[in-house]
Amino acid sequence: MDLATLIGILASFGLVGYAILTGDGASTFLNGPSLVIVVGGTLGATLVCFPMKTVFGVIGVVRKALFFRGLDNQKIIGSLESLAKRARKEGLLSLQGAGSEIPDAFYSTGLQLVVDGQEADTIESILATEIEYVEARHSVGALLMKTMGTFAPAFGMIGTVIGLIQMLQTMNDPSSIGPSMAVALVTTFYGALLANVLFLPMVTKLEQRSNQEVEQKNLIMEGLLSIHAGDNPRILVQKLSAFVPPSKRAGEAA
């Protein structure tokens, strides 16, 4: 897992746990019914929003986002540059076998379209639609996380209101008001915790991963179209140089 993600999750949960354990009434924070209301209500409302298929699909998207280690843009530019050089010297058909050495399906499929001699418009249309599809898949994942991040605090609040109503209705013993209100607040705590330590960060993480992946695929598409058009490899590198931060660019010879 990306080091930042691991540190982040440990830090958030750890600090909150520390605050709880070093204070009074730590046992109040472990409340089964409260957890069931918040987690169950959140999952229930989320299942109404999305079909089963989508929910399972998102598990895959989340796993890929947490553990996937993608290619480096710089390496891809290098790869495209050598393909461009080869094509200019030996023609497009010489790239016929190159696709098998490329681990990325989008890259190799696109290369095959170029080698097959498809029209530039067709290649761009097919690749662009694929990129849109990738964006849409990630987007549903982020939406599902955002939905859970909205419902968790909502059900936390519903749980607290239920607890308050129950406490106020039977407010006979003054010494029990405190502990009853404490328990009522625990669902709010769970809702806010799950939302801010788990769901909402995942939304941003999925959006960031999606942007990275889309940017990389756009890089590949631009490069393949450039090879298809027969651009000078130096122009290709210049066109693609915007995809890497200035400090990392290979020399931009003119």
Where in 114-153 is the site for its own copies (CB under 8 A)? Answer: 116, 118, 122, 125-126, 129-130, 132-133, 136-137, 140, 143, 147, 150-151
Q: How far is the CB of 254 from its own copies (least distance, A)?
A: 5
Residue type present at position 79: S
Q: How far is the CB of 143 from its own copies (least distance, A)?
A: 7
Asked whether position 41 contacts its own copies by CB under 8 A, the answer is yes
Q: What is the distance between the alpha carbons of residues 117 and 98, in angstroms, rounded to a whole number?
A: 15
Q: Which of 49, 59, 120, 250 binds its own copies (CB under 8 A)?
A: 49
Asked whether position 19 contacts its own copies by CB under 8 A, the answer is yes
Asked whether position 216 contacts its own copies by CB under 8 A, the answer is no
Enumerate residues 6+ apart whose C-beta is below 8 A from 190: 34, 35, 38, 39, 152, 156
Q: What is the distance between the alpha carbons of residues 24 and 5, in angstroms, rounded to a whole number?
A: 30
Q: Which of 47, 59, 93, 120 binds its own copies (CB under 8 A)?
A: 47
The three-class DSSP label of residue 63 is helix
Q: How far is the CB of 79 from its own copies (least distance, A)?
A: 19
Asked whether position 62 contacts its own copies by CB under 8 A, the answer is no
Q: Which of 95, 202, 220, 227 binds its own copies (CB under 8 A)?
A: 202
- Among residues 85 and 181, whose Cβ is nearest to its own copies? 181
Q: What is the distance between the alpha carbons of residues 85 and 12, in angstroms, rounded to a whole number?
A: 50
Contact string (CB under 8 A) for its own copies, positions 218-247, x = contact: -----------------x--xx-xxx-xx-
Asked whether position 158 contacts its own copies by CB under 8 A, the answer is yes
Q: What is the distance between the alpha carbons of residues 84 and 77, in angstroms, rounded to a whole number?
A: 10
The H-assigned helical ranges of 116-250 are 120-169, 177-193, 200-229, 233-240
- Among residues 107 and 243, whose Cβ is nearest to its own copies? 243
Q: What is the distance between the alpha carbons of residues 112 and 117, in angstroms, rounded to a whole number?
A: 9
Contact 83, 227 (CB under 8 A): yes
Q: What is the distance between the alpha carbons of residues 120 and 114, in angstroms, rounded to a whole number?
A: 8
